[in-house]
Amino acid sequence: MAKRSGIDAVHTFWEQVWQSPQNYDAVDDLVVEDFVLVSGGRRIEGREAFKKWAEEFGAVIRNLEFEVAESFENHDGSRVASMWRITGTNNGAFGTKPDGKPVEMTGTAIWAVREDGMLLSNHVERNAFEVYKQLTAE
């Protein structure tokens, strides 16, 4: 059996869902029904709940541009760590006033990938507090 490429599965997700133009419906084909996202200490369970979260996140950053900085996978491709960067303009991110200020956010995502390439879970750490401070600075 050929070795799975977890990186290919994760990069396909980044390309189809987050890179311009964003396509949140692609989530249906890329993550399992009981997908779990943990982001900012919040646990989102299920594909539909995750898709709604992604749409809401995308709505608060206009002109969202997403780039992958670097990705690594374990020996069998079942776990992937991916560092990323988002830029855009503020449309109410983190509950702030939608003032059009520039937004730049970096983060790391740790993915679990099923043998067939479907994504099982994602644990995200991001510099949200620093971005929030920049957006609320007077």
Give CA angle at 97 (91, 99), nearest 5°.
60
Can you list the domains of the chain with their CATH numbers? 6-136 (3.10.450.50)
- Asked if 113 contacts 82 with a C-beta cutoff of 8 angstroms, the reply is no
User: Alpha carbon of 94 to those of 21, 55, 80, 101: distances in Å?
Assistant: 22, 14, 27, 13
Q: What is the pLDDT of residue 138?
A: 75
3-state secondary structure of 77: coil
Q: φ and ψ at 79, to 5 degrees?
A: -135, 135
Q: What is the pLDDT of residue 57?
A: 96
Task: At 27, list the tokens.
Answer: 């989530």
Q: Is the pLDDT of residue 19 over 60?
A: yes
Q: φ and ψ at 65, to 5 degrees?
A: -120, 130
Q: What is the pLDDT of residue 17?
A: 97
- Give the predicted TM-score (pTM) of the model: 0.93
Q: What is the pLDDT of residue 63?
A: 96
The owner of tokens 């520039």 is 102
Q: What is the pLDDT of residue 1?
A: 42
Taking all residues of the chain, what is their mean pLDDT, rounded to a whole number? 95
Q: What is the pLDDT of residue 44?
A: 98
Q: Is the pLDDT of residue 2 over 60?
A: no
Q: Is the pLDDT of residue 32 over 60?
A: yes
User: Alpha carbon of 8 to those of 3, 71, 82, 120: distances in Å?
Assistant: 12, 10, 11, 14
Q: Is the pLDDT of residue 128 over 60?
A: yes
DSSP 94: G
Q: How far apart are CA 113 and CA 100, in angstroms?
A: 36
Task: At 44, list the tokens.
Answer: 């989102």
- In this prediction, residues 76-86 reach a mean pLDDT of 97
Q: How far apart are CA 46 and CA 27, in angstroms?
A: 11
The pLDDT > 90 percentage for the chain reads: 93
